[in-house]
Structure 1
Amino acid sequence: MSKAKAWIHAFRLRTLPLALSNIFLGSFLAISNGHFSVKIFLLATLTTLFLQILSNLANDLGDSISGADNEERVGPERAVQSGVISKKEMIRMVVVFVFLSLISGLYLLWEALQLLSYNQALIMFGIGVLAIGAAINYTVGKNPYGYNGFGDLFVFIFFGLAGVVGTYFLYTGELNWTIFLPASSVGLLSVGVLNLNNMRDVENDTKTGKRTLVVKIGARKARIYHLFLIVIAMSAACAYVMIHWNSYTQLLFLLSFPLLIRSLLVVLKNKEAKMLDPELKKLALSTFFFSLTFGIGMIL
């Protein structure tokens, strides 16, 4: 593998649609309430892409340091593990994406200042800094939270609540408690993708001391947990539409439900962890499709 291909592989482009799900949904919800800005949309999208790539690079680095990336790992080979990219090179690239995330995020806040007070902007800046810290500390550091079963919580917060609600707030400068319902849907579906990842890697994670939630509760309970994630995500979306009912076009998001249910059935019937690998991409794309259909249905 060439160096260029190794870097593209390390960026893990297949994870980007999932990361964009919250930005798109937050934007659609803002449009449905009469607010939109092209600059905010583009900058929020760019910042999210930088943060996701930062998270992927840090994860590659952290798992290589801890030994979680080895020959027994089920998923695709990581860049540092392959030896094509050194740890020093990966650290430098992590620093690059920290700065890119900061610059893009600051520009985003500058554009949003027409609606936000300086105190509100500072709070949003703090959330952004926490997002950068969360992206790195998932597997990097003396006590990475991803190795202690807290990955699910952080994914729910940053891929769901902070992503959707934060994006909506940047457009509107206001909050509505019902926004937390679809935000929770995206957050829970994103946690579902992480749960699939951890179910796939449960054997190797157990051997290497990576105590994910799946390692802690076991594969059987992880399947039940997955059921709750999907069902509650769908229920929260239905609740939001019922509260804000206007027309049947709002039911467009139901087109995503067969995809989510199919993924759920595959997980519930699974007997061999490595067979879950293709489901990560499918659930991530299903989540993105859910965000699109839900958002478009709200503005039609």
Structure 2
Amino acid sequence: MSKTKAWVHAFRLRTLPLALSNIFLGSLLAAADGKFSIKIFLLASLTTLFLQILSNLANDLGDSVSGADNENRLGPERAVQSGVISKKEMIRMVFVFALLSLTAGLFLLWEALQLLSYTQAFVMLGLGLLAIAAAINYTVGNNPYGYNGFGDLFVFLFFGLTGVVGCYFLHTGDVNWSILLPATSVGLLSVGVLNLNNMRDIENDSNSGKRTLVVKIGSEKAKKYHLFLIGFAILSACAYVLIHWNSIYQLLFLISLPLLLKHIYVVAKNKVAQELDPELKKLALSTLLFSLSFGLGLLL
């Protein structure tokens, strides 16, 4: 594998649609309320993409250092594990994307200052710094939270609640608390992607000391947990629509339902962990479809 190809693999481009789901939904919710800024949308998207790549690179580094990435891992080969990219090179790239995330976030806040007070801007800056720290500390550091079963919680907070509500707030300068319902939907679907990843790697994670939630509860309970994540995500979206019912177009998000139901069936019947790998991409794209269709349904 060439070094260029190894870097592309390390960026894990298939995770980027999932990262953009919360930005698209937050922006469309704001647009449905009559407030939308193309600059905010583009800068928020750029910041989120940088954060996602940062998280992917830090995960590659952390799992390699800890030994979680080894010849027994079922997922795609990692860059540092393969030896094509050195630990030193990966550390340098982690710093680069941390700086890119911070820079894009500062430009985003600068653009949003026309709606925000300085106090609100500092709060958003604090959340941004926490997001950068969370992206790195998932598997890097003396006590990475991803190794102690807290990855699901952090994904829910940053790829659901914070991502959607924060993006909406930057567009509008206000918070409509009912959007916590669709934000919960995206957060739970994002956790579902992580849960799939951990179900695929359960044996290797357990052997290498990576105590993910799946390792703690076991594969069968993880399947039930997965059903809860997808099911409650759909119910949360339905609850928002019922509260704000205006037209039949608000049910547009149900076009993602057949994909999600098929996905649940595949996971429930799965017996070979490696066969879950294609489902990660499918659920990520289904989440993006959900976000776009839910938001567009409010605009029609």
Matches within 5 A, 1:187-206: 187-206=187-206
Shift of 1:73: 0.3
Structure 2: which amino acid aligns with 1:35?
Answer: K
The amino acid of 1:32's aligned partner reads A
Identity of paired residues, percent?
77
Q: Give the superposed CA RMSD.
A: 0.5
Give the letter for the 2:99 counterpart: F
Structure 1 partner of 2:161: 161
Alpha-carbon distance in 1 for matches of 2:106, 2:61 = 26
| Residue 45 of structure 2: aligned partner | 45
**Which amino acid letter does the alignment assign opposite residue 178 of structure 1?**
S
Amino acid at match of 1:170: L
1:281-300 CA-to-partner distances (Å, cap 9, x unmatched) read: 00000000100110111111
**Paired residues, what number?**
300
Aligned counterparts of 1:27 and 1:13: Cα–Cα separation in 2: 22
Q: How far apart, CA to CA, are the structure 1 residues paired with 2:185 and 2:74?
A: 28
SS at match of 1:77: coil
What CA deviation, in whole Å up to 9, does each residue of 1:122-150 have, x standing for no partner? 00000000000000000000000000000
What code does the residue aligned with 1:4 have?
T
Partner of 1:266: 266
Corresponding position: 1:76 with 2:73: no
1:282 aligned partner: 282
| Superposition pairs of residues 26-45 of structure 1, within 5 angstroms | 26-45=26-45
- Which position in structure 2 is the counterpart of 1:233? 233
Structure 1, unpaired ranges of 5+: none
Amino acid at match of 1:168: Y
Distance 2:123 2:177 in 1: 18
* Distance in 1 of aligned mates of 2:72 and 2:88: 24
For residue 260 of structure 1, what is the amino acid of its counterpart? L
Inter-partner Cα distance in structure 1 for 2:73 and 2:125: 37
Aligned residue number for residue 298 of structure 2: 298
Partner in structure 2 of residue 57 of structure 1: 57
Output the CA distance in 2 between the equivalents of 1:98 and 1:272: 36
Q: Which residue does 1:140 correspond to in 2?
A: 140
Q: What residue is the counterpart of 2:85 in the other structure?
A: 85
In structure 1, C-alpha distance between the alignment counterparts of 2:278 and 2:171, rounded to whole Å: 36
2:22 and 2:210 map into 1 onto residues whose CA distance is 28
Q: For 2:221 and 2:260, how far apart are their aligned partners in 1? A: 19
Q: Encode CA deviations 1:146-196: one digit per residue, 9 max, x unaligned.
A: 000000000000000000000000001111111100000000000000000
The structural deviation recorded for 1:271 is 1.4
CA distance in 1, matches of 2:24, 2:88: 35
Q: Which amino acid aligns with 1:214?
A: V
| 1:209 aligned residue | 209
C-alpha distance in structure 2 between counterparts of 1:12 and 1:204, whole Å = 20
Shift of 1:5: 1.1
For residues 233-287 of structure 1, the C-alpha deviation after alignment (integer angstroms, 9 at most, x for no partner) is 0000001011111111111000001111111111111111111111000000000
Letter of the structure 1 residue corresponding to residue 92 of structure 2 = R
Q: CA deviation at 1:55?
A: 0.2
Could you tell me how far apart the structure 1 residues matched to 2:8 and 2:229 are? 31
In 2, Cα distance between the equivalents of 1:220 and 1:253? 29
Q: Deviations over 1:77-105 (max 9, x none)?
A: 00001111000000000000011001100
Letter in 1 for 2:11: F
Alignment partner, residue 13 of structure 2: 13
Counterpart for residue 114 of structure 1: 114
- Residue aligning to 1:218: 218
TM-score by length of 2: 0.99
- Cα distance in 1, alignment partners of residues 210 and 295 from structure 2: 37
Q: Distance in 1 between matches of 2:88 and 2:17?
A: 28
Greater shift, 263-272 or 135-144, is seen at 263-272
Q: CA deviation at 1:217?
A: 0.4
SS at match of 2:234: helix
Deviations 1:45-72 (A, max 9, x none): 0000000000000000000000000010
